C-alpha cells in the first residue's frame, strides 16, 4: 500500500501533482494496461513494450511505479485477486435456509471462478508459478484459502446449530467447494471449455453438489425441519 504522509497529502492538494510513482490514477492506468497484456499473453510472452503501448505511458514511467516486470505482475495479481473474491462471501453472512444459502453461495463461487476473466488470470498465475512460486502461493493464500476459511466458519455455525454433523470441517469445506466446481474448473483452466459455463450448467452442478453434501453431512434435525418447511 502506498504510504502518504500528511505533509505530502497537503502538497498534493495544493499542487495537484503526485510524487514520483505515487499517482494512483497513473498506477491504475499502468495496471490496467498490464492486465490486458498479461491476461492475454501470459507472463513470459507479455513484453514491457506491449504494456507500455497498452497502458499509454512511457517505459520509464512504468519503471518508476514498479521495480520490474515481476513486481508489476505481482501488483496486478494482488489487485485482481481483490476484485475477484470481493463480495463473494457476503452470502454466507446471512443464515436463513441452509440449503438455499449453500446453493446461492456455491453458484456465486462457481460462476466467479469459472468466469473467462478469472480463469485467464488463474492460468497466468499458474503459468508463472514455476518461476515465481511465492506468487502462486500468495494468490492461493489470499484468495481460495481465505474463501475456504469463510466456508469453514459457516459450516461450523451450521454444526453448532445442529444442522450438520461433520467430523473434519476443514476437509468438508474443501469437499463442498470442489462439489460446486465439479468438472468445471479443470475443463476451464485447460481450455477444454473455451467459454465459461452457463448459469444453467452451474445451477445443475451446484444443486447436485449441495444434495450430495447434505446427504453426507445433514442431521436428522435438519432433514425434519426441511421436510416440515416443504409441506407447509
Cell of residue 174, nine digits: 474443501
Q: How many CB atoms lie within 10 A of CB 78?
A: 15
Q: In the range 58-117, which residues lie near a copy of itself by CB under 8 A?
A: none
**146 scored as a contact of a copy of itself (CB under 8 A):** no
Within 10 A of 189 (CB to CB), how many other CB atoms are there? 16
Q: How many residues bind DNA (CB under 7 A)?
A: 26
Q: Is the dihedral of CA 135, 137, 138, 139 positive or negative?
A: positive
What share of residues in the chain are helix, strand, coil (percent, to 5)?
Answer: 75, 0, 25
Cβ closest to DNA, residue 47 vs residue 87: 47
Helix 24-41 / helix 116-128 crossing angle, nearest 10 deg: 80
**Partner whose binding site includes residue 181, from a copy of itself, DNA, none (CB under 5 to 8 Å by kind):** a copy of itself
- Judged by beta carbon, residue 5 or residue 230, the one nearer DNA is 5
- Collect all residues with Cβ–Cβ distance below 8 Å to 174 and sequence separation of at least 6: 148
Nearer to DNA, 3 or 60 (CB): 60
* Residue 26: its H or E element: helix 24-41
* Residue of 31, 128, 152, 164 interacting with a copy of itself (CB under 8 A): 128
42, 92, 138, 144, 147 from 141: Cα distances, Å: 21, 20, 5, 6, 9
Q: How far apart are CA 223 and CA 206, in angstroms?
A: 19
Which of a copy of itself, DNA, none sits in contact with 174, Cβ below 5 to 8 A by type? Answer: a copy of itself
Strand partners, 164: 218
Quote the CA–CA distance of 89 and 113 in Å, as a whole number.
Answer: 13
Residue 60 CB, shortest distance to DNA, in Å, is 2
Q: Which does 23 bind (CB under 5 to 8 A by kind): a copy of itself, DNA, none?
A: DNA
Min dist CB 131 to DNA, Å, is 12
Task: Decide if residue 61 touches DNA (CB under 7 A).
Answer: yes
**Span near DNA by CB under 7 A; candidates 10-18, 141-149, 169-177, 220-228:** 10-18
Considering only residues 67 to 126 of the shown chain, the ones binding DNA according to CB under 7 A are: 68-70
Q: How far is the CB of 63 from DNA (least distance, A)?
A: 4
Name the site residues for a copy of itself (rule: CB under 8 A): 40-45, 120, 123-131, 133, 136-137, 139-141, 144-145, 148, 168, 170-171, 174-175, 177-179, 181-183, 185-187, 189-192, 194, 204-205, 208-209, 211-213, 215-217
Amino acid at each position: 500500500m502506498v504510504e502518504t504522509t500528511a505533509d505530502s497529502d497537503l502538497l498534493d492538494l495544493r499542487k495537484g501533482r503526485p510524487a514520483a510513482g505515487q499517482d494512483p490514477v497513473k498506477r491504475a492506468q499502468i495496471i490496467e494496461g498490464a492486465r490486458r497484456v498479461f491476461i492475454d499473453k501470459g507472463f513470459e510472452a507479455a513484453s514491457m513494450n506491449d504494456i507500455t503501448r497498452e497502458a499509454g505511458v512511457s517505459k520509464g514511467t512504468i519503471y518508476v511505479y514498479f521495480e520490474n516486470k515481476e513486481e508489476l505482475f505481482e501488483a496486478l495479481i494482488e489487485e485482481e485477486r481483490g476484485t475477484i473474491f470481493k463480495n463473494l462471501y457476503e452470502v454466507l453472512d446471512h443464515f436463513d435456509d441452509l440449503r438455499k444459502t449453500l446453493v446461492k453461495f456455491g453458484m456465486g463461487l462457481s460462476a466467479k471462478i469459472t468466469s473467462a476473466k478469472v480463469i485467464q488470470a488463474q492460468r497466468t498465475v499458474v503459468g508463472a508459478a514455476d518461476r515465481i512460486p511465492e506468487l502462486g502461493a500468495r494468490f492461493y493464500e489470499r484468495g481460495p484459502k481465505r474463501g475456504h476459511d469463510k466456508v469453514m466458519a459457516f459450516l461450523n455455525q451450521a454444526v453448532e446449530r445442529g444442522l450438520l454433523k461433520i467430523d473434519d470441517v476443514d476437509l468438508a469445506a474443501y469437499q463442498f467447494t470442489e462439489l460446486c466446481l465439479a468438472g468445471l474448473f479443470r475443463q476451464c483452466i485447460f481450455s477444454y471449455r473455451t467459454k465459461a459455463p452457463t448459469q444453467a450448467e452451474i445451477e445443475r452442478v451446484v444443486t447436485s453438489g449441495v444434495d450430495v453434501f447434505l446427504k453426507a453431512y445433514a442431521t436428522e434435525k435438519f432433514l425434519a425441519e426441511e421436510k416440515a418447511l416443504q409441506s407447509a
